[in-house]
């Protein structure tokens, strides 16, 4: 393997932390572009990684930074809009700025993070629609050799999915947890497998032009994943699925709360199952890790595996 010079945008987040660490461990030189380096003072992974403050919406500035690099990785994505950070700005304007910067710098290879179910024809959900627009934009950009990745929910150390539900569950006093869209289905994919897919694409230029759906080995309803989380943190909580009207009302109310824990756009995203008809991991010879094998290793402390086994045997006895 030849060491490459790689730019990562959105690399200071959950997936980026894992990917950048792995790229550096493999000997690549990585430049992580960030809007606010002061927020990521702990983000220093050895001499092969540099953190650069760059406005990713300025193609001329991007071109200056991109010169001499082999590949650009775009990991920018938002689940909720706030202030100037809108879905169309983060998911469409930014990829447009990236491909302009790449063209001017003479860099051709792009690894672009999209999302499963991203679709320009999505009628309600702005997250999925704009992710689809950004994905199409980069694939239709002349001179750019792009591979895009369309994962279901990603889990692993530092994820927001399991950690968020774990903290919510800790605040619920009773045995019942009211949950919107409890029947929505997911095929959670392990962050290490997502990173492996990016590395595969980096080493296989022939993957340019491909849009890769990434799913883990199991499919679960949101309710099942929340009860699994409860078991790991030692709570005997049962999910109470909310009827659709209540789910919408919850989204409208919670969308106004600080941090927007659940919004109408999140509600729309959950109307489509986030599962793959065929995950691309198999084609890349990546054996996906399961939720059951990995989540107990980082959530709920040392006792979590024992608690999970206890939960499984209780579930078996009651079925
Ligand atoms: N996590 C999942 O379950 C999941 C599932 C499917 C798809 N994805 C996609 O995978 C990618 C990475 O996800 P993640 O969970 O690692 O995200 P994350 O932790 O939120 O990190 C995203 C990074 O993007 C940058 N960013 C955020 N808002 C931005 C904006 N408005 N303009 C420019 N940069 C912005 C931030 O970097 P700075 O603040 O340093 O600039 C941030 O560190 C995203 O595209 C996401 O949509 C994630």
Distance of CA 42 to the CA centre of its chain: 21
Confidence at 267, pLDDT banded by 50, 70, 90: very high
Confidence at 310, pLDDT banded by 50, 70, 90: confident
Average pLDDT over residues 145-172: 96
Range in 36-50, 121-135, 236-250, 294-308 with the lowest mean pLDDT: 294-308
**Of 215, 201, 200, 191, residue with least CA distance to 15:** 191
- Dist CA 183 CA 197 (whole Å): 29
User: Residue 282 class from Cβ within 10 Å (0-12 exposed, 13-18 middle, 19+ buried)?
Assistant: exposed
For residue 302, the model assigns a pLDDT of 67
pLDDT of 319 higher than 70: no
**Of 216, 218, 156, 158, residue with least CA distance to 191:** 156
Q: Which fold has domain 5-151?
A: Rossmann fold (3.40.50)
pLDDT of 80 higher than 70: yes
For residue 83, the model assigns a pLDDT of 86
**Of 266, 269, 271, 225, residue with least CA distance to 244:** 271
The pick from 9, 10, 18 for probing ligand 1's pocket by mutation, whose C-beta has the most ligand atoms within 8 angstroms, reads 10
Q: What is the pLDDT of residues 271-282, one digit of tens each?
A: 999 999 999 999
CB-based contact 76:94 (threshold 8 Å): yes
pLDDT of 127 higher than 90: yes
Which residues form ligand 1's pocket by a CB distance below 6 Å? 10, 12-16, 34-36, 40, 56, 75-78, 85, 90, 94, 113, 115, 151, 153-154, 161
For residue 42, the model assigns a pLDDT of 77
Distance of CA 157 to the CA centre of its chain: 13
CA of 278 to the centre of ligand 1 (A): 25
Distance of CA 196 to the CA centre of its chain: 14
Sign of the CA dihedral running 303, 304, 309, 315: positive
Range in 41-50, 94-103, 182-191, 211-220 with the lowest mean pLDDT: 41-50
pLDDT of 307 higher than 80: no
Average pLDDT over residues 135-145: 98
**Count of all residues that appear for the chain in the document:** 319
Sign of the CA dihedral running 22, 108, 1, 198: positive
Average pLDDT over residues 189-208: 98
∠ CA(167), CA(169), CA(172), 5° rounding?
Answer: 120
Contacting residues for 135 by C-beta, under 8 A, at least 6 apart: 112, 114, 118, 148, 150, 211
CA of 78 to the centre of ligand 1 (A): 6
Nearest CA to ligand 1 atom 36: 10
CA of 76 to the centre of ligand 1 (A): 4
pLDDT of 44 higher than 90: no
CA of 10 to the centre of ligand 1 (A): 5
For residue 316, the model assigns a pLDDT of 67
Mean of pLDDT over the chain: 94
pLDDT of 260 higher than 70: yes
For residue 84, the model assigns a pLDDT of 87
pLDDT of 259 higher than 70: yes
For residue 315, the model assigns a pLDDT of 65
DSSP state of 160: S
Q: What percent of the chain has pLDDT over 90?
A: 87
**Of 141, 132, 150, residue with least CA distance to 210:** 150
CA of 309 to the centre of ligand 1 (A): 33
Question: Considering just the CA atoms, what is the radius of gyration of the chain in Å?
Answer: 20
pLDDT of 242 higher than 80: yes
The domain locations on the chain are 5-151, 161-184+218-274+290-318
For residue 318, the model assigns a pLDDT of 65
- Dist CA 260 CA 257 (whole Å): 5
For residue 47, the model assigns a pLDDT of 82
Nearest CA to ligand 1 atom 37: 10
Q: What percent of the chain has pLDDT over 70?
A: 95
pLDDT of 161 higher than 70: yes
CA of 27 to the centre of ligand 1 (A): 24
- Dist CA 62 CA 57 (whole Å): 8
Range in 156-160, 294-298, 302-306 with the lowest mean pLDDT: 302-306
Average pLDDT over residues 25-47: 89
Nearest CA to ligand 1 atom 5: 153
CA of 243 to the centre of ligand 1 (A): 31
**118 has which bridge partners?**
none
What atom of ligand 1 comes closest to residue 16's alpha carbon? 16
Contacting residues for 266 by C-beta, under 8 A, at least 6 apart: 79, 80, 127, 251
- Dist CA 69 CA 270 (whole Å): 38
């Amino acid at each position: 393997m030849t060491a490459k010079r790689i730019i990562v945008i959105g690399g200071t987040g959950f997936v980026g932390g894992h990917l950048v660490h792995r790229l550096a461990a493999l000997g690549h030189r990585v430049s992580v572009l960030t809007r606010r380096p002061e927020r990521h003072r702990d983000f220093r992974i050895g001499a092969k990684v540099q953190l650069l403050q760059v406005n990713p919406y300025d193609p001329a500035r991007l071109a200056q930074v991109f010169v001499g690099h082999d590949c650009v990785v775009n990991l920018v994505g938002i689940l909720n809009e706030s202030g100037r950070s809108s879905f169309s700005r983060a998911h469409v304007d930014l990829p447009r700025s990236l491909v302009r910067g790449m063209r001017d710098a003479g860099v051709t290879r792009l690894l672009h993070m999209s999302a499963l179910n991203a679709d320009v024809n999505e009628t309600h959900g702005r997250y999925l629609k704009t992710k689809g627009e950004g994905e199409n934009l980069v694939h239709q950009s002349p001179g750019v050799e792009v591979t895009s990745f369309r994962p279901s929910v990603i889990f692993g150390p530092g994820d927001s999915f399991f950690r968020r539900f774990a903290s919510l569950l800790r605040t619920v006093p009773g045995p019942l947890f009211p949950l919107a869209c409890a029947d929505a289905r997911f095929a959670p994919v392990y962050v290490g497998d997502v990173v492996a897919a990016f590395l595969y694409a980096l080493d296989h230029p022939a993957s340019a032009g491909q849009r890769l759906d990434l799913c883990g080995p199991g499919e679960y309803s949101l309710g099942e994943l929340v009860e699994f989380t409860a078991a790991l943190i030692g709570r005997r909580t049962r999910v109470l699925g909310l009827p659709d009207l209540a789910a919408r009302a919850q989204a409208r109310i919670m969308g106004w709360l600080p941090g927007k824990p659940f919004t109408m756009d999140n509600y729309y995203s959950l109307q489509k199952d986030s599962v793959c008809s065929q995950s691309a991991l198999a084609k890349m010879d990546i054996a996906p890790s399961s939720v059951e094998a990995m989540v107990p290793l980082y959530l709920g402390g040392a006792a979590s595996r024992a608690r999970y086994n206890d939960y499984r045997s209780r579930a078996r006895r009651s079925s």
